[in-house]
Each structure stands twice: as C-alpha cells, then as structure tokens.
Amino acid sequence: MSKQSKIKNKIQEQYGKIALADGSLSCCSSSAGCCSTSETVVSPIESSKTVGYSQNNLNSVPQSSILGLGCGNPSPFALLKEGDIVVDLGSGAGIDVFISANIVKDKGRVIGVDITDAMLERARKNAEIHGYQNVEFRKGDIEEKIPVDDNSVDVVISNCVINLTENKLKTFKEIHRILKPNGVGKLVISDVVTSGEVEKEIIDEGNWCGCIDGALTKDNYLDSIKKAGFTYIEILEERPGNVVKDDNESIDKHTRKISSITVKAFKN
C-alpha cells in the first residue's frame, strides 16, 4: 500500500474513532491524534473557545457537533448572507455547517463534505434531530473531487482540514472550480501551518493525522492558494501554537512551531 493510501486509511480510522466516541476523545488525547495547536488537554467546548468560537456560536448548534477539532472559527470571517450557498470541507460532525446554516437560512444551503463515514453519520444525525432543512452532508475526498458542481458556490469554508490532504494545490484547484466566478466566490479557511515542513520519507502517519506532518509553511500555503488561481489573498487571523519536538535527526533543529491562520481569497 502506498504511503498516501496509508495516510488516508489512518485519517478515516482516527476521525472515525473520534466520531463514535461521543466527546470522550478530546482533540488532544494521545489516542485521538487529531488537530490542535494547543498543548493542553481540554474539553471540546473549551478547545473550541480557545480557537475563537463564542459561547453564542456554541449555544446555537447541536452540542454533538462540537468535537473541538478546529484550529479557528472561519464562518464569522466569511460575512455570510441569507441565501448564500456554502460548502464546508472536512465538515466533521457539522459545527461550522450548522453555524453557517443559521445565517444563510432557508433561502440558502450549506453542504458539508467529509471522507469519514462515521463523521458523516454523526453530522446527518445532528441535522435530522435538530430539524435542519438547509444542510446536507456528502462523502468525498476533497483533493480528488469535491462532490459539488462547477461555479456554483458563494463561499467555501474549512477548519483544520486542508493540511491533512497530500496535494494542497490540487485541493485548492478543486475549491477554485466549485466557486462562482467574477469575484463572487471566496474561500475563508482556518488551517495549521508550520515553521518547518517534513520530508516525505520521514512522515509519521499519526503526526499527519494530528495536523503536524502534513502542514506547509505559511509561505508555501499562501503560494498554493495563489497557484490555484485565487486573488486578493489575505490573512485575517494568526494564532501561535505549540512547539513540536522531533526525535528524528533529519528534521532541522528538531523543533517545529505549529500555528494556525485564517485566510481569505477570491475567484475572479
């Protein structure tokens, strides 16, 4: 099996476990292996507040959609309007889908896309129990093909997911494909960046799932967005994170600073 397939399997295994764990696997628990820029083990609610969710945000969504897996809070930066068509990539249990759905209301629509079956099930159950009519969750691998039509989306949001894809440029090109043209469509994405990327040969699958080994430097991240065809690229927020100590001799200086950014860009 190729390294890429192994990573994809591991992602689905790890995030599947989190989806089934009913909140008992917090983001930073060692067995969870999920994304966080904080070193401290906290509850999903506390973890979400740390990365920018307000208590109002958290009260407004199904509580079972809050898993503490994000590294920012992209929706408020997206300045969503009633009627907007929104896509959330790597939607997990749906937290950002539900926050967005409350704003775009019945005239709009929010589509969550995720690769992990158990996450999709949890998100769909959340939508059903809480009577959301304007949301939908689709299965897809966002770096292969986002299951959404060309030129059809007002805003693409995503929270701590693109770093988990191997080919970031391909992922950003897919995002570009589905957004409406002529300066209408935009992306607003929170994600993890690093002070030092890891060579392919020494990638650790667990660290990749934990949003460490797949992270790009900020410059390379912004460059991938630009190469995919986006314009007016702007960093809206930056949060310093923790420092990862590496045992592997090949990793320069044996430490990497992990931080998170929220970035906006437009499709012309």
Ligand X SMILES: C[S@@+](CC[C@H](N)C(=O)[O-])C[C@H]1O[C@@H](n2cnc3c(N)ncnc32)[C@H](O)[C@@H]1O
Binding region for ligand X (CB under 6 A) = 11, 15, 34-35, 67, 69-70, 90-92, 95, 113-116, 119, 140-143, 159-161, 164-165
- CB closer to ligand X, 134 vs 260: 260
Across 132-142, b (16+ Cβ under 10 Å) vs e yields: bebbbbeebbb
Written as six digits, the tokens of 265 are 């860009």
- In whole angstroms, the minimum distance from the beta carbon of 61 to ligand X comes to 11
How near is the Cβ of 242 to ligand X at its closest, in Å? 16
CA dihedral (29, 45, 216, 14) positive or negative: positive
By C-beta, is 95 or 179 nearer to ligand X?
Answer: 95
What is the rounded distance in angstroms from the CA atom of residue 30 to the CA atom of residue 27? 8
User: Is 91 or 262 the residue whose CB approaches ligand X more closely?
Assistant: 91
CB of 245 to ligand X, least distance (A): 22
The answer to whether residues 235 and 225 touch, using CB atoms and an 8 Å cutoff, is: no
Query: Which CB sits closer to ligand X, 11 or 135?
Result: 11
For the bound state, the minimum distance from the C-beta of residue 95 to ligand X, rounded and expressed in Å, comes to 5
Show the tokens assigned to 166.
């191997």
Closer CB to ligand X, residue 119 or residue 179? 119
Name the DSSP letter for residue 246: P
Instruction: Name the minimum Å distance from CB 14 to ligand X.
Output: 8
Q: Compute the half-sphere exposure of residue 83: CA atoms within 13 Å on the CB side of its CA.
A: 0
Shortest distance in whole angstroms from residue 159 CB to ligand X: 4
User: Is residue 261 within a helix (H) or strand (E), and if so which, with residue range?
Assistant: strand 255-266
Nearer Cβ to ligand X (136/184): 136
Closest CA to 116 of 144, 137, 97: 137
